[in-house]
Structure 1
Amino acid sequence: MRPALVFSIFLSLLLALDGALLLDGMSRRNDENATLAQLEVLTSGLGLTDLAVSTEARYTRHPAVSDPMAPFMDHPGAIEHFPTGAFWLPVR
C-alpha cells in the first residue's frame, strides 16, 4: 500500500474517533445540565449558597470547596471513618 493511502486511512479513523468523542461529550453535557438544574432547585429551596453533602470530613464536602489532596491523606486500605463515605461511588 502507498504511504498516502495508509495516512488517509489513519486520518479517517482519527476523525471518526473525534466525532464519536464529540457526540459522547454532547450527551454528557446534556445530562450534566439536567443534574445542575435539579441541584439549583434544591439549593435555592434550602437557602444554601452551595450544596454541601456533609461537614464531617474534608473530602466528603462539595468537590468545589474541598482540598484536592484530602482523599490521599489517609491510607488507601484504611477503613472508612465516617458513614457519609458511602455516598460517593467508586471511580469507574
Structure 2
Amino acid sequence: MMLALLGVLVVLIFAHSWQLTVTDQSRLLANRALVTQLGLTDLSLFSESRYTRHPSQADLHSALQDHPGAFDHFPTGSLISPPAHLNKPHERLAGKTTSPD
C-alpha cells in the first residue's frame, strides 16, 4: 500500500514538472530570443567583489575574504552589501563550554 502511494507521488511529481515546462515554454522562448538579440550573458552587476557578481558566477570561498573582520577592498562593497548569511552574528560561546582538564 505504502509503496503504491509512493509510486503515485513520484508519477505526480514528474507530471507536474512536465506541465510547468509546457506552460512556461512560450515565455522561455521569448526570453531566449531577447537574450540572443541583445547578446546578453549572465547577469553581472559588478566584476570585482565576488558577492556583487551573479551567484552562478561567484565562488563559494575565497581565501582571506571570508573572515568577519576582513576589510572590503572594492568600492562596490559600499553599494551592494554581502549576502545576509555572511552578516549574521555568531553565537557567543564564552562560558558555555567546559575545559576537559
User: Which structure has the highest helix share of the two?
Assistant: 1
TM-score range relative to shorter protein: 0.3 to 0.5
Q: Which has the larger Rg?
A: 2
Larger RCO of the pair (alpha carbons < 8 Å, separation 6+): 2
Q: TM-score, normalised by structure 2?
A: 0.44
